[in-house]
């Protein structure tokens, strides 16, 4: 069926609107590439060839903020952070249980935060890495007695390779300042270290694949108190299905893979507070609780 120029223009506008809604925000090439199919082919090729000695084990409540209001680029407080730019893998991994098992094994093998960062940088088992610009590992002071964990990087974080640098990060900095903290006295990370394309929610399998890394990160940083920011982080780290509105404000425990129990305060995500400023007083209460608890350790 031939379309008139007007009809063609309308059809193209509709297609563009569909892409925008689906979270397609970057044109990478003129032709589509099925990276999942590539991965399966590569797997099949690997399976048919003998195991090679040099093959390494990795071979095979909306909380993220809207785009506008980007913060000025900021320097990390982390000493000597290695490059975070993730080399684009040739193929995107199919997110499955095997990748989650591999992530668990690799995370366990990390003896330091630096090793963990390297392992995550090299890990190709999470499809989110294929579309992210950077690994967003952490910001702040890994020696701090306080650690905060959010959900996943947004656009600004992806660009800078640092967590919480956009609008919700600015609010988080103000909240921290209210309890006399900043990024020299707090350590900040996310459950998911790669930006989900178009800021979509990470899938349960993507979360399952990334969870061992953040659990090991917490274990290695060994904070005295942990804050989970928002629903997804609270659910992932406290292994609960309860919503953040019921969980927030009451002390819980995060249990590390090695069995250490860390007092944990679930609270509302800064991006949620930006949309619901009246609830800031609830978060304020939670952070005062945290300050009081931290004071008992000094
Ligand atoms: N929201 C998050 O959960 N993490 C970030 O790093 C930024 C926004």
**Helices 231-238/204-221 angle, 10° precision:** 70
pLDDT at 59: 29
The verdict on the CB of residue 158 being under 6 Å from ligand 1 is no
Tell how far the Cα of 30 is from the centroid of ligand 1, in angstroms: 31
Alpha helices (H) along the chain: 5-22, 35-48, 97-109, 113-122, 128-131, 155-160, 167-178, 204-221, 231-238, 244-247, 270-275, 280-295
Residues whose CB falls within 8 Å of the CB of residue 222, separated by 6 or more in sequence, listed in order: 260
pLDDT at 272: 98
Which of 154, 229, 235 to probe ligand 1 with, by most ligand atoms within 8 A of CB? Answer: 154
The verdict on the CB of residue 208 being under 6 Å from ligand 1 is no
pLDDT at 95: 73
pTM score, whole prediction:
0.76
Output 18-26 pairs: Cβ under 8 A, ≥24 positions apart.
22/198, 23/197, 23/198, 23/199, 23/200, 24/197, 24/198, 25/197, 25/198
Is the CB of residue 213 less than 8 Å from the CB of residue 103? yes
Q: Splitting the chain (298 residues) into consecutive groups of 10 residues, what average pLDDT does each group show? A: 77 65 56 59 52 34 55 53 51 80 98 98 97 98 98 98 98 97 98 97 97 98 98 98 97 98 98 98 98 95
Tell how far the Cα of 151 is from the centroid of ligand 1, in angstroms: 6
pLDDT at 36: 58
| Domain architecture of the chain: domains with CATH | 97-295 (3.40.470.10)
Task: Work out the angle at residue 200's Cα, subtended by the Cα atoms of residues 196 and 206, and round it to the nearest 5 degrees.
Answer: 55
Strand partners, 189: 149
């Amino acid at each position: 069926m031939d379309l008139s120029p007007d009809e063609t223009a309308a059809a193209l506008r509709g297609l563009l609107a569909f892409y925008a809604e689906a979270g397609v925000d970057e044109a990478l090439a003129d032709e589509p590439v099925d990276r999942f199919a590539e991965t399966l082919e590569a797997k099949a090729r690997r399976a048919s060839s003998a195991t090679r000695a040099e093959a390494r084990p990795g071979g095979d409540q909306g909380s993220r903020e809207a785009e506008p209001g980007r913060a000025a680029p900021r320097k990390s407080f982390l000493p000597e952070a290695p490059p975070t730019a993730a080399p684009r893998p040739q193929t995107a991994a199919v997110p499955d249980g095997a990748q989650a098992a591999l992530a668990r094994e690799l995370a366990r093998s990390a003896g330091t935060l630096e090793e963990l960062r390297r392992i995550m940088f090299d890990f190709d088992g999470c499809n989110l890495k294929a579309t992210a610009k950077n690994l967003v590992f952490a910001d702040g002071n890994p020696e701090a007695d306080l650690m905060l964990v959010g959900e996943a990087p947004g656009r600004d974080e992806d660009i800078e390779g640092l967590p919480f640098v956009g609008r919700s990060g600015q609010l988080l900095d103000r909240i921290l300042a209210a309890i006399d903290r900043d990024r020299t006295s707090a350590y900040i990370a996310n459950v998911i270290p790669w930006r989900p394309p178009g800021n979509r929610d990470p899938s349960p399998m993507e979360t399952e694949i990334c969870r061992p890394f953040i659990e090991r990160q917490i274990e290695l940083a060994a904070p005295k108190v942990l804050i989970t920011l928002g629903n997804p982080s609270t659910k992932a780290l406290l292994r609960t299905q309860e919503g953040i509105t019921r969980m927030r404000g009451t002390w819980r425990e995060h249990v590390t893979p090695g069995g250490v129990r860390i007092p944990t305060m679930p609270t509302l995500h800064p991006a949620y507070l930006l949309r619901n400023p009246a609830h800031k007083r609830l978060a304020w209460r939670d952070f005062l609780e945290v300050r009081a608890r931290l004071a008992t350790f000094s």
